[in-house]
Structure 1
Amino acid sequence: MAAIRQIDWTAAMHAVAADRAKRPAGLLAARGLIAATSAKRRPLVVAGEYDRAAIMAAAVAAARVHQARTGSTWGEAMSVTLKATWQLARAARTARAH
């Protein structure tokens, strides 16, 4: 008797998609905080180019707030806020291009 494994590919693909769709905790709050504070003081995009220093400064400031709110590690807080800051920078660059 041969050993046969059957895989439910539909369920497997749904599980993979569900894992990818998860947002890190606090991503939307971090994006709102950055948009309301840091991005207004110092633009993230200057002359169509990303201002990496401004992006990093905004992410660090937001990470401090994020870490205080959630009690996460510094690495997790920076990961979330850098993702949020780059999303805002890409959106700003696209908006200026059109």
Structure 2
Amino acid sequence: MPLQRSISWSSALRDLKDDRKRRPAGALGAQASIAFQARIRPLVVAGQYDRAAIMAVAVFAAKTHQLAYGSTWAAAMSLALKSA
């Protein structure tokens, strides 16, 4: 007699969804902060990335994130640079 297994597709898809990496707290805020600052100081000039502008915008976003969430500077800066 063969063994039969039933698969619940809803629970399987839910498990797949839960396995995906979740965004850290404040990621959307950091992206919004960077988008706002990028309007003032463009991150791409003449087709090349402006590293100084990227760092300035990331530092601003990291300070904002650190004040809002109380995270370490390294974690805040990491999140800000990934968002930039």
Normalized against structure 1, the TM-score is what?
A: 0.64
RMSD (Å) for aligned C-alpha atoms = 1.8
Amino acid aligned to 2:42: P
Aligned residues: 71
Q: Which residue of 1 aligns with 2:35?
A: 35
C-alpha offsets along residues 49-98 of structure 1, whole Å, 9 cap, x if unaligned?
Answer: 1111100110001100100000000011001111111xxxxxxxxxxxxx
Q: Which residue of 2 aligns with 1:26?
A: 26
Identity of aligned residues (%): 56
Structure 1: runs of 5+ lacking an equivalent: 1-9, 86-98
Normalized against structure 2, the TM-score is what?
A: 0.74
Runs of 4+ aligned residues of structure 1 deviating over 2 Å after TM superposition are none
Q: Which has the higher helix share?
A: 1
Determine which structure has more spread, i.e. the larger CA radius of gyration. 2
Structure 2: runs of 5+ lacking an equivalent: 1-11
